[in-house]
Structure 1
Amino acid sequence: MAAYWIAHVTVTDAERYGGYQALAPAAFARFGARFLARGGEAEVLEGPAHARHVVIEFPDLAAARACYDSAEYRAARAARAGAADVAVVIVAGL
């Protein structure tokens, strides 16, 4: 059953965030991720506002968790540290 990352992101340092953007695709490719929404027009109806919203589909929960915990994504997160306010949730599909 598919699983999804739902991320809410506000970039605070675009130059530093570029390091994350350079590294993260390797992790996503390795674990079969497919982007369903990334940026684009969004309307926050409740809760804190973020500039970007991302929905990424994975084959299953194990792949979604493994991607987040992978060496590739840990490196991407380290590159992103201090460059964005980020909230990420992993959700099982129906």
Structure 2
Amino acid sequence: MGPQIVEYLQKIDASLEPFGGRFLVHGGDVEVIENKWPGHLIIIEFPDRQQVRGWYNPAGYQAILRLRTDNSQSAVIFVDGVEHPHRATDVLGQT
């Protein structure tokens, strides 16, 4: 880990706090069962899509974004979770 990634890690928690973001998965051992996985997995949970967009777009996170993007390869996606309890067949009623 280079100094820019260390700086990024030191600053990201403060950027998450105002938007209710929290790490659910942060690296750790990935046991690949099927196909290939290219590296680490990081999952950050937010209360809703509005909060994640608020976190990602303002100057707070954008100020540290380059520390990550200039020093690692990654993909960022926003995805909605499911309400609990959730059953696999619940998706059959969605369009």
Flag structure 1 segments of 5+ consecutive residues without an equivalent. 1-12
Matched, 1:40 2:28: yes
Q: Given the alignment, which residue of 24, 33, 38 partners 1:49? A: 38
Percent of aligned pairs with the same amino acid: 32
Cα distance, 1:46–1:70 mapped onto 2, change above 3 Å: farther
More strand by share: 1
Cα distance, 1:66–1:46 mapped onto 2, change above 3 Å: farther
Could you list the structure 1 runs, at least 4 aligned residues long, displaced by more than 6 angstroms after superposition.
Answer: none
Number of residues paired by the alignment?
81
TM-score, normalised relative to structure 2: 0.73
Which residue in the other structure is 2:85 paired with?
none
5 Å-filtered alignment, 1:7-86, equals 14-44=2-32, 45-46=34-35, 49-50=38-39, 52-86=40-74
The higher relative CO (CA closer than 8 Å, separation ≥ 6) is in 1
- Give the residue type in structure 2 aligned to 1:92: D
TM-score, normalised relative to structure 1: 0.74
Give me the whole-angstrom Cα distance separating, in 2, the residues matched to 1:46 and 1:14.
29
Which residue in the other structure is 1:4 paired with?
none
Flag structure 2 segments of 5+ consecutive residues without an equivalent. 83-95
Alignment root-mean-square deviation, CA: 1.7
- The Cα shift of 1:47 comes to 5.3
More helix by share: 2
Which residue in the other structure is 1:9 paired with?
none
